């Protein structure tokens, strides 16, 4: 196991997520479409939870991979759980899916099933590896809580209606928006601002998104393509369903968790 591989795995979990739009139908005007998208964070928080599915296409150096994902988000708490199918990475020693949870600003990765027969020697009986997102350097900040992407919609500026699409039997309107991260951060509730600002630094000053919103103002799909400076690129497509579902996301038991520093120390010695 090499540090570069660990960094690639961490980059892979930068899952994009967005929330719901305002409760009114959108018209074709720039003002109403911008209001629809910028109001998405508040409306999603009111919905509280959702199930998610989709895929990530990740490029790290010369390597490219597309990984299926599924999971759930608690918008109100900014907590996330997801499973990423890592078997498609084609990397020796990595097999199956990895479960990720993000709770109270800490990311937990279950590396046990991912490492298979090597788990015992690398993990020492502690299958979960933790990363406190507040402590990450600027070059690693692409691992932010994916619910931060919900908050980023507050910075939607130039918004236009693109067309109509059917997603899983639901009629939606597609919007394209340019996100200003500084605007988004300035408009965030105080309790989200510091951690979200730390997490969003990898995305630069602005980036484009596409979001599909149904007639109830709820997003059904979110798509973003981002170049992460000095690291690679991530293209993400996330579909949303089951708003208001029963979702309970908790940190793993403390005696089953080790820090990323401890994991890297052991893994690099194997």
pLDDT in tens, the chain (270 residues): 434 444 344 434 433 333 333 333 434 445 478 888 877 777 777 888 999 898 888 777 777 788 888 999 998 788 899 988 877 666 666 667 789 999 988 889 988 777 766 676 778 788 899 988 776 544 444 444 556 666 777 888 889 999 999 999 999 989 999 988 888 888 887 776 776 676 666 566 788 889 888 887 788 888 888 776 666 777 888 888 899 999 999 999 999 999 888 887 766 655
Would you say 56 and 15 are in contact if contact means Cβ atoms under 8 Å apart? yes
pLDDT at residue 150 in the model = 65
Nearest Cα neighbor of 82 from 63, 101, 68 is 101
40 backbone dihedrals φ, ψ, rounded to 5°: -65, -40
Q: What is the pLDDT of residue 196?
A: 67
What pLDDT is recorded for position 49?
A: 93
Instruction: Tell how far CA 167 is from the center of its chain.
Output: 20
pTM for the model? 0.76
Place of tokens 């369903």: 241
DSSP annotation of 255:
G
**pLDDT at position 95:** 65
At 63 the pLDDT is: 75
* CATH number of the domain within which 54 lies: 2.50.20.20
The number of folded domains in the chain is 1
DSSP 194: H
E strand spans, the chain: 49-60, 63-74, 79-85, 97-103, 106-110, 128-132, 156-167, 170-180, 206-214, 219-228, 232-241, 257-259
Which domain covers residue 94, as residue numbers? 3-268
C-beta separation of 68 from 83 below 8 A: no
């Amino acid at each position: 196991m090499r540090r570069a591989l660990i960094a690639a795995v961490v980059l892979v979990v930068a899952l994009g997520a967005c929330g719901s739009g305002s409760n009114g139908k959108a018209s074709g005007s720039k003002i109403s479409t911008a209001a629809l998208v910028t109001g998405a964070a508040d409306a999603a928080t009111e919905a509280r939870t959702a199930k998610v599915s989709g895929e990530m296409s990740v490029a790290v150096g010369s390597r490219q991979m597309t990984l299926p994902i599924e999971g759930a988000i608690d918008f109100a708490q900014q907590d996330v759980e997801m499973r990423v199918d890592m078997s498609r990475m084609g990397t020796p020693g990595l097999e199956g899916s990895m479960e990720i949870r993000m709770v109270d600003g800490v990311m937990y990765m279950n590396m046990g099933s991912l490492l298979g027969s090597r788990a015992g020697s690398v993990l020492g009986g502690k299958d979960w590896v933790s990363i406190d997102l507040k402590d990450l350097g600027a070059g690693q900040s692409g691992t932010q809580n994916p619910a931060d992407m919900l908050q980023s919609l507050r910075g939607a500026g130039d918004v236009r209606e693109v067309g109509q699409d059917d997603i899983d039997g639901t009629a939606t309107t597609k919007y394209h928006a340019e996100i200003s991260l500084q605007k988004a951060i300035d408009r965030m509730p105080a309790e989200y601002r510091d951690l979200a600002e730390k997490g969003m630094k990898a995305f630069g000053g602005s980036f484009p998104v596409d979001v599909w919103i149904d007639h109830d103002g709820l997003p059904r799909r979110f798509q973003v393509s981002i170049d992460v400076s000095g690291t690679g690129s991530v293209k993400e497509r996330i579909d949303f369903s089951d708003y208001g579902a029963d979702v309970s996301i908790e940190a793993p038991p403390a005696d089953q968790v080790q820090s990323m520093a401890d994991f890297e120390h052991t893994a690099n010695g194997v």
